[in-house]
Chain A
Amino acid sequence: MKRFGLIFLVIVFSAISSATMAEENYTFDLSEIEKKPYHFGGYIEARPVLYGLDTDAALYKLRFFDDVGRRALLEANGRVLLEGSYEKNIFRVFARLNTDLQYNDHTHGMERTTFYEAYVSAKPLTSVKIDVGKKTLKWGKGYAWNPVAFADRPKDPDDPEQAMEGYIMASADFIRSFEGPLKTVSITPVLFPVYDHINSDFGQNNKLNAAGRLYFLFYDTDIDIIFMTGPSRPDRYGFDFSRNLTTNFEIHGEYAWVTNTRKTVLDSTGMYNLVEQDAHRFLIGLRYLTSFDLTTIIEFYHNSAGFNRDEMKNFFSLISQGFDAYQIKGNRTGLARAMNLAESGYARPNAMRNYLYVRLSQKEPFDILYFTPSLTCMINTDDLSANIMPEILYTGITNLELRLRAGIITGPGDSEFGEKQNDYRIELRAGYYF
């Protein structure tokens, strides 16, 4: 009986002691928040990709004409992104250096290191900021496309959240706030030089261009009016907006008018024509969050200067003819013409006129923490071909991000996605922030 009493006491005391332990003391070490004038950080990524190739597709023939029969391509990709900043008084220097590494047994190794951003900022007042150097502006409200991002490189609609390389420019922000329905106005003028070694890939050389954005928060709606003018590229004007209709339902849109755009078009006889026209590009989209944490993003994009179905078919025919000529006679002329056309616009992402983007993303289903499965569909509504991308994202380890993603191409021959080089793609991305 004594023994039972002793056991009972031990149990009671251990229960009391664990209850005391469970009452945690939370601490906040103030050294963690001490501000330093400098900052250094970065991101490192490994991204192996397996491409399942479509040996009948036009873009396969264009890329693998000298390696016919290859059915798969394994590629190793790596990225190192280093960033640092230093602040003194009203000045701040910021730089972000990116290195991309790639290896596959077709093109072999590739390495590219470049500053994505490197600029000096001066902030003489809370409402005034001046930046000079290389930076991204990221204008626009769209998720997959930004037709009004006139002074940025086009983003990759398959991976819109990737860091991007900027351009060298001088820009300023002037902000004013008000009471009433008009809450904020900000003006961002931009000087955009294009010279040898300065933004030389942007357009016509030895010219200075100007751009600007006027932003309003008016009746709880974000509105931007944007322009870019100068000799390097045709003048362009646009606007965008974004607004919450309810707390969990947002709509957004962009419109851009680009004067006198030029594109090289291939006709059915195989002749090139340089077509000059005004381009109207618009995007309309929504973002909706359900009570069970499913986020839906839907966007429709139209580009009146994109290629139509016949123009695209002519391009695919040119590749087929060039490929046959190379296989039979070893003549590369047709393929070389097709490669030039591909670089001039035919092979760029979303080169046609009408696209629908749908992304469904479910946060932590079945109570699996830090786990987010998503499904993204990029649909060409002109030819009904599509790229369907299921993915799973795991962020359970602090600063580590693991993403497994597939890309499955659907669409008939002569369609945009149907003629892509892959049937499918499987990609693992492991990224670590430090």
Chain B
Amino acid sequence: MLDQKDLRPKDLGRPDEQLIKLETYNLMPLLPPYDKPGMQPPISEPKPAWREKYCASLDGFIGLDTLTRPQTKEEEDEFVRKFLSGLEKIFSDANNGILEPLLLSFEYCAKCNTCSEACHIYKAAGDNELYRPIFRSEVLRKVVKKYFTKSGKLLGGFVGADIDVNWETIARLGELAYRCNLCRRCAQTCPLGLDNSILSKEIRKIFSQEMGIAPTPLHNKGSMLQLKTGSSTGLTKPAFLDTLEFLEEDTEEKFGIKLKFPVDKKGADILVLHNAGEFIAWPENPVAFAILMNEAGLNWTLSSEMMGYDSVNYGLWYDDVQAKKIALAQMKAAKELGVNRIIVGECGHAHKASIVAGDRMAYGDAKVNVESCLPLLWDLVQSKRLKMDPSRNNFPVTLHDPCNVVRQMGIVEPQRNVLREICPQFREMTPHGVDNYCCGGGSGFAIMNALNFPQFRDNVASRMKFNQILGAFQGKMEDASQVKYICAPCSNCKGAMRAILEHYDATEKFNLQYGGLVELMVNALVSMKRPYFEFLE
């Protein structure tokens, strides 16, 4: 094992059982009240059986649960061969959709190292060399130079083609691609406009599209399940309709509201596309949407047709082919319903997938107009179509900016305008807006709960966000009688919030609550007879 400070990109092929090890005392310190000893759970060692089966030789964590160790030398060689074959393809016309940004980011890095300070994972891990944004990129460059450039073949180490490529190198590189949230904050600070996350994602793509290796929650139980059943949750049409019926009854029972979800309403103006996980994990969110839209008198509907009731598109994180299949199927479902527009609910990556990535996947009649729910929600508040009583939200509220919605789409103000209007104690995190940090759940981390990966996510990836939250509530944290609400208008971000609050036992100890934006809006509705939040009861 190496001291992380001595680690160099070419060390990725070293035969060590594990390259580096993370200890909680080396991580970025947390703010009060989590600065005291014993407030953080320790990081445990991977089980010996996991070391034998998977690639735990990077930092001890395992994200790629479908990457298993080969039994023979032939299998090892075949693994490397397949990777190299995929690596060549990312620079071919099979990858046209990203070729220009990829070539630019691949060729022009000046190694000024400006990106490191912007990376929440690098900083949270205590400036750990392994997670430096250019570390991974440089490994990839070395491999490409070694095998696919004349200069690398002729001049070797002079141009940086000095890495040993073996099973361990490639497997570790695959794991390392899942130590980046693809939040693109580093790209914002690059003087040359380059983007390390493109290279992380390309590695993930080679593993998935060429080698058939991707984390189970993203692929087999994610995009594959969605294409088969209509939802990555496995929720089928009958189950979805049952769920809606249950939620209608439950809402009436709890709040006395006769709620009706419009379903498959032909020719409705709006199709609301939710992350189907919301119906299972946070049903209060789609219920709140329905309450608001019904009260505002909007002509809207949900779809119960195949691919019409789940906005997620995990392909965005690891596989362009899956991403395109899903995006086109979702557009088709909306087309068949004859709606004017799709409104994407509170799900960040679905925003990016349907509105930005999907934008250039189809044209003409095949394309549907898609927009974010956030401008609509602000309009409902601003135009006074909904009667609100802000005093009902009179507790500290902070806002998390989902990277996909804010940094990558420029939807910055509508959600904070709503909060400024309906939450008297709204306060910003530092930094916020387009400069905000990822929640640590981005690019699939929020749903990657297999083996010991949650330990990496909760201790490292979400650490900066947890500190931002603690910072926003300084002075209020210790008072456990005081509700403190983290507004995260994104399903994945909520998943990450749920995980860190559990990890640090922060709801139990300090009354730190989390949820979306629409829940706060419904809680402030004058027409509500009782608080929408259970924690206010």
Q: Specify whether A and B are partners.
A: no
* Chain B residues proximal to chain A, CB less than 8 Å: none
* Chain A residues proximal to chain B, CB less than 8 Å: none
